[in-house]
Amino acid sequence: APKRVKDWIGQLTMLSETTLPHLRPGLDIFAAQVVAWRQHQISKMKELETPAEHIPRDDLSAIFSAAQNCSDSLGEIIGKIERHTNTRDVNSYTTMFTIVIQAWGAASISAVPLSSESDPLAPSRGVNQILKTIHLLESIAALPDRTFFDDDVNELQSIEIEQSREHKAFLFECLGEVFAEALEQLRQIDTSVREKKVSDETRPGKSFFLENVFEVEKMLRYYESQSRIVLTQDDPTSFDIGRCCELYKKVLRGCMGVTCSHDYGHVVRISSSIMDFVSWRNDQFLTSEAKRAQTNDITDLYCDIACLVGKVVLNHHEKQMALTEVFNRASQFFNQSHGEKTSSAFATVDKAALIGAIRLAVEGSFDDATTESFIGLFDSPERHPKRRTKSSRRRGKPQ
């Protein structure tokens, strides 16, 4: 099937260059090559009736080969494309990159029983290819920057800059989906490692997610930088925090696989970064004159962070400090007392739900009296948030 698809695209290209220019394949047609190789891989995996831990090496090689062909097809297509700015093209970008990442994730999961990292069919190869695919997408997203901030332009250049902005906005949507898929595949690979009780002799509790935590952070920060470019050039009310939260939750789910206590610093740092990003968006919204018709509920995000902190931070004092920080950072989104509206029109956090999550996070860590004393701190009157206005925020002081 992949060969037939490639031949078909070749015929369309040839006809478009001679007598039928309207048949020239678009990016959505080229994407069919990547889809075909992924379907070939799926078909091959369905043919294997034996348990995954006993996949014959020849069959495993075929699974990896299909993933490599997905990557090769993607690279070939990207090499032919200069730049695309419409929604359909960006949807094709999203489809192709997502499929390639899924193909390498499937190959890695199939290979999890192999313990030698030097083996060409080891899970680490798939993980490395997932990250390589992410780097390729980042290079594409960076292409328009050369004209992005040029103020001295004529009318033609202005059009080009506007197209560049559209390209950046669409690719921002693509980045979120593809990054989320990459993080999900890393999590699934780690899940497979745990289920099959595979461990590294030098490091029990092996986690590909944590081994590549700096790549994960780089991904998160790159997405943040691109979103800020889009946000500062657009109406803040048009920004969908829900899309960001989905990516943040994928990161937090991956961090839940941490089993070594000495890795908790990475988790706390990532969680803190996510809360910084949300606060920045709130600040941007408050300093604008925009008004949002509907407030985003981001309770789940802060509850997930609280649960994660409770799991990975073992020291009782440090756990209390970290959970208190989560509560304090979320307080800007709590509902006001006396039936007032939330302190932020940008997003809201259910205070009672977060306190419940904090209670679960400390469950089993303290005795009952200590737990109740700690939880009681969050429900005291002085913990109620104060409304912050645009002017007070500019002065950096609560009003």
Q: What is the largest CA-CA distance in the chain?
A: 83
The per-residue pLDDT for 15 is 72
Q: What length is written for the chain?
A: 399
pLDDT of residue 236: 53
Quote the pLDDT of residue 201: 47
- Cβ–Cβ < 8 Å for 111, 123: yes
Contacts of 156 (CB under 8 A, 6+ apart): none
DSSP symbol at 313: -
pLDDT tens for the chain, 399 residues: list them: 778 777 777 777 777 777 777 776 777 788 888 999 999 999 998 887 655 556 788 889 999 999 999 999 999 888 876 554 455 677 888 999 999 999 999 999 988 876 566 788 889 999 999 999 999 998 877 654 443 344 444 544 554 555 555 666 666 778 889 999 999 999 999 988 887 765 554 445 678 998 899 999 999 998 888 877 777 666 555 556 777 888 899 999 988 877 666 677 888 899 999 999 998 888 877 766 555 556 788 999 999 999 999 988 888 899 999 999 999 999 999 976 544 454 556 789 999 999 999 999 998 888 888 889 999 988 765 555 444 444 444 444 433
Cα 119 to Cα 104: distance, rounded to the nearest angstrom: 15
What pTM value is reported for the model? 0.80
Strand partners, 203: 200
Rounded Cα–Cα distance for residues 167 and 160 (Å)? 10
Query: What is the per-residue pLDDT for 367?
Result: 85
- Closest to 186 measured CA to CA, from 116, 250, 117, 95: 250
152 by Cβ neighbours in 10 Å (0-12 / 13-18 / 19+) ranks as exposed
Distance of alpha carbon 125 from alpha carbon 118, whole angstroms? 9
- 56 close to 121: Cβ distance less than 8 angstroms: no
**pLDDT at site 393:** 43
Amino acid 2: pLDDT? 78
